Structure 1
Amino acid sequence: MTARTDLDWNGGRESWEMTGSTSTEWLIAMRAAATLAAAVGVGRFVFTPILPLMQTQAGVTPQLGATMATANYLGYLVGAVAAILVPVLGWTALAMRLSAVSVVASLAAMPLLTSPEAWIALRGIAGGGGAIMFVAAAGAVLNGISPRSRHLAGWAYGGVGAGITLSGAAVLLVALIGDWRIAWWAASALAAALTTLGWKLINPQPPGVTVPPPRKIPRPHRWFVPLVIAYFLEGVGYIVAGTFLVAAVTAAVPGPLGKATWIVVGLAAIPSCVLWAWLSVRVSHPTLLTTALGLQAAGMVLAGLDLGAVAAIVAALLFGGTFMGVTTLALDAGRHLQVPAAVAILSAMYAIGQTIGPVAVAPLLANGFHTALFTAGGVVAFSAVGTILLRIRYPHPRISLPSAAVPNPEPALQR
């Protein structure tokens, strides 16, 4: 089998132009986007813009904020592991809908309780419900959208960016007229609306979608193990910026710009997933993962340098333009490598990383967020170095085309 370079392979370009996406695939993508927006964009990440409000109005310390964030990620870990041990949780409508209700309810209950222990517990509940929703949405995308329509997966994962943008804008408006309590209630209402849009996502046999069986890849674990390690390190590093970026920028750039940073992150995340998915048809997963992780690490370091408003915006664009792109690429690579329960395994390792990240940097927060962001950037850079190992004879996915177009449909090995 001939080894090829990243840009030699153009089968993906031909399939992109020759094949259309069905209306059912679009419907799956949009419902998945709404589900991910509620579970992750709001359920998890609304805490980022609300944290500065809680610090000034409710007396939340950076250390308590880190603990609340850790509780959310620990809950996410529990949910992801549960989806591995009890796979039915990841593909039944009942499990997904109960998880969605738990996320909405936990957001609504935050203003009703005032003890740190209660806040920590509620953030954990939101994390567990969000994990089940994420696994369900990712499974619906990977199983219901054919490889030749993989750009739709980008639109689905872009729902996280939409949720971040909407919740960030809602919190920004609430800050002008209300307090942190109203911000949580607004987040709950937004999550409820998004959940309604994704309510009918789970459909075991979506009509009109035929995903051809992939070619068997021998010994996929030789690539899957480095992928899991890199994704774990990404979880450790990215979540520090995901939790403290707004607080760090607000401290360095007081005023509306600091509070609007999270909206910039969300706006960058929406099209980024589509862009990375589009690029994955032309360039190998390892190359794109290395690029995305390198850019993300640079953005984290830039955010910690306190170089002013322009630097803060650039840092937000780099972070927003890569963090969900990495997820899109990693989950697509896991699907391609045909490892059983790849989504749940990757999600669980990501969740372990997310749980470790805030705890690891908590001692560094006493004098601000700079050292924590530098440390996180270093971890993500190390993850980028690790993805280079994936390039060793990586079996690049080849989209199925008519036999006349592709006489040999085997995966093309990438160096």
Structure 2
Amino acid sequence: MLPSSRPTRPQPVALAIGGLIALASAIGIGRFAYTPILPAMAEGLGLSKGEAGLIASANFIGYLLGALLAAAPRLPGSRRAWLLAALGLGAATTAAMGLVTTLPAFLLLRGLGGAASAFVLVLSSSVVLDRLARAGRPGLSALHFAGVGCGIALSALLVPAALEGGDWRRAWLATGAAAAAGLLGTAWLVPAEAPPPPAARAARPAAPVPAGPAAGWAVAYGLFGFGYVVTATFLIAILRASPALRPLEAVVWLLVGLAAAPSVALWGWIAARRGLEASLAAACGIEAVGVAASVLWPGAAGALLAAVLLGGTFMGITALGLAGGRRLAGADPTRLFALLTAAFGVGQIVGPAVAGWLHDWTGDFRLPSLLAAGALLAAAGLALGVRLPRG
């Protein structure tokens, strides 16, 4: 039985840890476990890189649809109930990937899982960040966003153990069980919130649809979605292509997670001194170097550099993008969070499908990775041209 939904006043640290667990479950595990499982899964089923990219894109199509649905101005019921339902759906679809073997089933499951992960990101960010701000502890948002890196690091330890003997199905079942444990932790640490009085609800202004600066911010966020996702999806597959680098697979993915966990705090510290726009641009530029290194610097050094630079930036950019959206949105950031997530989702949908097709055409990931690096540099340029409201 899930913990009671009776409204309580949670301690800010416990609330931030609940948000961390939610993101670890739905994003770090539910979304990114595909990367370390993919090589064994592709070998076991004979999947082409194009088919592997299509499965990844299905997850991101679901992510886009989930973000748009989460943008609905009046979801029935409480935000917490939707958050817990999305965590349950994400855990179930992750585990079910180990019970099917056909491409249509994989596409359906990853699509539903992607929708669930978008709901979790939008709703956990809205619920947790709003309540931390009201408690006077907005700095704890870095702990909330550290969940993605923690989930990736957990999957880097869990997946190789589950893959002993080459059974990719066990890896999906194990990661699904870990995601389900995250549901219980979130339910315990993120209690229900008393609804605002009717007068307050009526006076609460709706978040504006992006226009002007928000449009530029959203486009930059979409380019970032395209730019990071090729390496985030295929980094382990790139290593698997080189027999000398195969022993590094688990280490490289663990580095991605370990670098991601503190990255939001680091980039938040930088943004407090240099501004959100300049910080997001710098992070995109650094990530572009890592994406390019994954294919231009052969050997262990290039792989390790790519892992550290990818992990050290992608969640920082995500948090900086949402922080900019919060400034642009006014009182209720939920809708603009969702719209930014949707722009991000469009880039993610295109990235894996194009990368898989280009790999099957050219024989390697060099061209799609360099296109991704170019998209990140374009995002950096756009971010520098935006002027966000101060405060």
Could you say which TM-score interval applies, normalised by the shorter chain? Answer: 0.7 to 0.9
SS of equivalent to 1:374:
helix
User: Residue 87 and residue 331 in structure 1: after superposition, are their counterparts in 2 closer, same or farther (change >3 A)?
Assistant: farther
Render the CA deviation track for 1:43-74: whole Å, top value 9, x for unaligned: 11000000011122221211111010010000
Task: State the match for 1:126 in structure 2.
Answer: 113
SS of equivalent to 2:101:
coil
Task: State the match for 2:203 in structure 1.
Answer: none
> Could you tell me which of 338, 341, 350 is aligned with 1:347?
341
In structure 1, the gaps of 5 or more residues are: 1-21, 207-217, 398-415
Are 1:66 and 2:53 matched, yes or no? yes
Query: Are 2:94 and 2:173, in contact at CA under 8 Å, matched by a contact in 1?
Result: yes
SS of equivalent to 1:85:
coil
Render the CA deviation track for 1:212-233: whole Å, top value 9, x for unaligned: xxxxxx9994321211110011
Are 1:286 and 2:299 matched, yes or no? no
- Asked which structure has the greater CA Rg, the reply is 1
User: Residue 383 and residue 331 in structure 1: after superposition, are their counterparts in 2 closer, same or farther (change >3 A)?
Assistant: same
Task: State the match for 1:174 in structure 2.
Answer: 162
Taking the TM superposition and a 5 Å limit, the aligned residue runs for 1:354-369 are: 354-366=348-360, 367-369=363-365
Task: State the match for 1:196 in structure 2.
Answer: 184
Shift of 1:205: 4.4
Task: State the match for 1:385 in structure 2.
Answer: 381
Shift of 1:249: 2.3
Q: Which amino acid aligns with 2:296?
A: L
CA distance in 2, matches of 1:280, 1:103: 32
Taking the TM superposition and a 5 Å limit, the aligned residue runs for 1:127-166 are: 127-146=114-133, 149-166=137-154
Hey, which of these two has a bigger chunk of helix by percent?
A: 2
Q: Which amino acid aligns with 1:362?
A: G
Query: Are 1:289 and 1:384, in contact at CA under 8 Å, matched by a contact in 2?
Result: yes
Taking the TM superposition and a 5 Å limit, the aligned residue runs for 1:22-61 are: 24-61=11-48
CA distance in 2, matches of 1:102, 1:185: 14
User: Residue 205 and residue 278 in structure 1: after superposition, are their counterparts in 2 closer, same or farther (change >3 A)?
Assistant: farther
Render the CA deviation track for 1:179-207: whole Å, top value 9, x for unaligned: 1011001111110111211124253349x
CA RMSD of aligned residues (A): 2.5
Task: State the match for 1:111 in structure 2.
Answer: 98
> Could you tell me which of 208, 224, 241 is aligned with 2:231?
241
CA distance in 2, matches of 1:309, 1:90: 50
> Could you tell me which of 208, 216, 219 is aligned with 1:229?
219
Query: Are 1:236 and 1:356, in contact at CA under 8 Å, matched by a contact in 2?
Result: yes
Query: Are 1:90 and 1:132, in contact at CA under 8 Å, matched by a contact in 2?
Result: no
Q: How many percent identity over aligned positions?
A: 35
Q: Which amino acid aligns with 1:68?
A: I
CA distance in 1, matches of 2:343, 2:225: 8
Query: Are 1:334 and 1:343, in contact at CA under 8 Å, matched by a contact in 2?
Result: yes
CA distance in 2, matches of 1:264, 1:373: 19
Shift of 1:289: 0.2
User: Residue 86 and residue 72 in structure 1: after superposition, are their counterparts in 2 closer, same or farther (change >3 A)?
Assistant: farther
Shift of 1:86: 5.1
Taking structure 1 as the reference length, the TM-score comes to 0.83
CA distance in 1, matches of 2:318, 2:33: 19
Are 1:372 and 2:368 matched, yes or no? yes
CA distance in 1, matches of 2:297, 2:40: 21
CA distance in 2, matches of 1:112, 1:249: 27
Of 300-309 and 142-151, deviating more is 142-151
Render the CA deviation track for 1:71-105: whole Å, top value 9, x for unaligned: 00001111111111254279522222222221111
SS of equivalent to 2:298:
coil
Query: Are 1:292 and 1:322, in contact at CA under 8 Å, matched by a contact in 2?
Result: yes
CA distance in 1, matches of 2:376, 2:45: 32
Task: State the match for 2:264 in structure 1.
Answer: 273
Of 308-317 and 82-91, deviating more is 82-91
CA distance in 2, matches of 1:91, 1:298: 42
Query: Are 1:91 and 1:202, in contact at CA under 8 Å, matched by a contact in 2?
Result: no
Of 362-371 and 59-68, deviating more is 362-371
CA distance in 2, matches of 1:306, 1:78: 37
CA distance in 1, matches of 2:249, 2:182: 26
CA distance in 1, matches of 2:329, 2:163: 47
Taking the TM superposition and a 5 Å limit, the aligned residue runs for 1:10-29 are: 24-29=11-16
Shift of 1:360: 2.6
CA distance in 1, matches of 2:39, 2:291: 19
Shift of 1:165: 0.6
Query: Are 1:44 and 1:126, in contact at CA under 8 Å, matched by a contact in 2?
Result: yes
Are 1:309 and 2:335 matched, yes or no? no
CA distance in 2, matches of 1:260, 1:31: 27
